Amino acid sequence: MWLFGLKGASGFSASSTAEEVTQGIDATGLTAIVTGASSGIGAETTRVLAMRGAHVVMAVRNVKSGEEVKDSILKEIPHAKIDVMEMDLGSMESVRKFASEYNSTGYPLNILINNAGVMAPPFMLSQDNIELQFATNHLGHFLLTNLLLQNLKNTAEASHKEGRIVNVSSLGHRFTYREGIRFDKINDKDSYTAILAYGQSKLANILHANELARHFKEEGAEITANSLHPGSITTNLLRHQSLVEGLVNWIGKYFIKNIPQGAATTCYVALHPQVKGITGEYFSDSNISASTSQGTDAELAKKLWDFSLNLTKPQ
C-alpha cells in the first residue's frame, strides 16, 4: 500500500490530515458555512477551519448534535467562533428558511462548503416529492448556493478576498446510470438502484461546481467553485448499507482514510493559497484529479442547471 503515501504536485498525499494541509494558514476574518457539520468530515472540517481562525456556521439537521460538536470543539479551542443553525437539505422550505435567516444576520460569506449527504438508502422521496439522494445531495445544495450567491459576491467585492464554493462529491460519481443524470426518471421507483442513484447525485455535485465556475468566469466574479472526492471513509453515510459497512470495518484499516484524513481535501480546497484562482476542477488527495467524461460534459452541466432551476423555483 505504498501508493497511499505518494505525494502529488501540492506536496500532500492521501495520508495528509486536515490539520496538516492547513498548517500555517490564518483564516481570521473569514466566514464559512459547512453543511452536514454535526458528524464525520463535516464536523472535522468545522473544527479545523475554526482552529485556523475562521468563523464557522454549522448548517445541521439535528441542532442538538450540532451543539454537542460545537461544545466539544470549544473545549479544545476556546477561542473558536462557531454558530449552529438548523437546515434540512431534503426540504426546500427549510433551505429557504436557513438562507433567509443567515442573510438577515448580516454575516458575510467567504466560503460555502456543500458537504452534507445521504448514501444509498432504499427508494424514498424528499419532503418535496423528489428522490431523496438527488434532493438532498444535489438539489438542496443547488438551492442553498443560489440563495447565498449574492452574499458571496458582495463579500468578495467588499473584502477583496476570493470567495470559494466547495462541493463534496465522491469517487462514486463514476458509478451512475448510463445516461449520467436521468432527467426523465429521477422519481422512477421501478428502475431505482440505490448505489447508481448515489453516483448520479455525486456526478451532479461535480457538474454543479463546473457550471458555477463557468458563470463566475462570465460575470467576472471573484469566486471559485470546485468539487472533490474526500477519500474512502467510514462514516455514518454507510448506515443504509450494513454489508458494505461490515466489509469496510473488516478491511478498512488497510486502505480506508480516517476522518482527519478524509477532511483534508475539503480544507485544502477551502483554505489553501495554492488553490487561489483555480476553479471548475475536481480534487482528490489534496491534488487536482480527473473525473469521468460525464463529469466534464459542459452540455450535461448546463442541462442539469436548467433542470435544477426548474425544480427549485418557488411554487
Indicate which residues carry an active-site annotation. 192
Going across the sheet that includes 31-35, the strands are 81-86, 55-60, 31-35, 111-114, 163-168, 223-229, 282-284, 287-289
3-state secondary structure of 55: strand
Nearest to 92 by CA among 145, 143, 132, 131: 143
- Contact between residue 268 and residue 164 where contact means Cβ atoms under 8 Å apart: no
> What stretch of H or E contains 73?
helix 63-76
Instruction: Give the chain's end-to-end CA distance (angstroms, integer).
Output: 52
Cell numbers of 291, please? 473525473
Q: Can you tell me the distance from the alpha carbon of 310 to that of 8, in angstroms, rounded to the nearest whole number?
A: 40
Pairing status of strand 31-35 against strand 287-289: unpaired
| Displacement of CA 281 from its chain's centroid (Å) | 14
Q: Are 282 and 292 in contact (CB under 8 A)?
A: no
Cα 313 from Cα 125, distance rounded (Å): 18
| Grid cell in block for residue 65 | 448534535
141, 61 contact by CB (below 8 A): no
Of 212, 148, 198, nearest to 169 (Cα)? 198
- 219/164 Cα distance (integer angstroms): 15
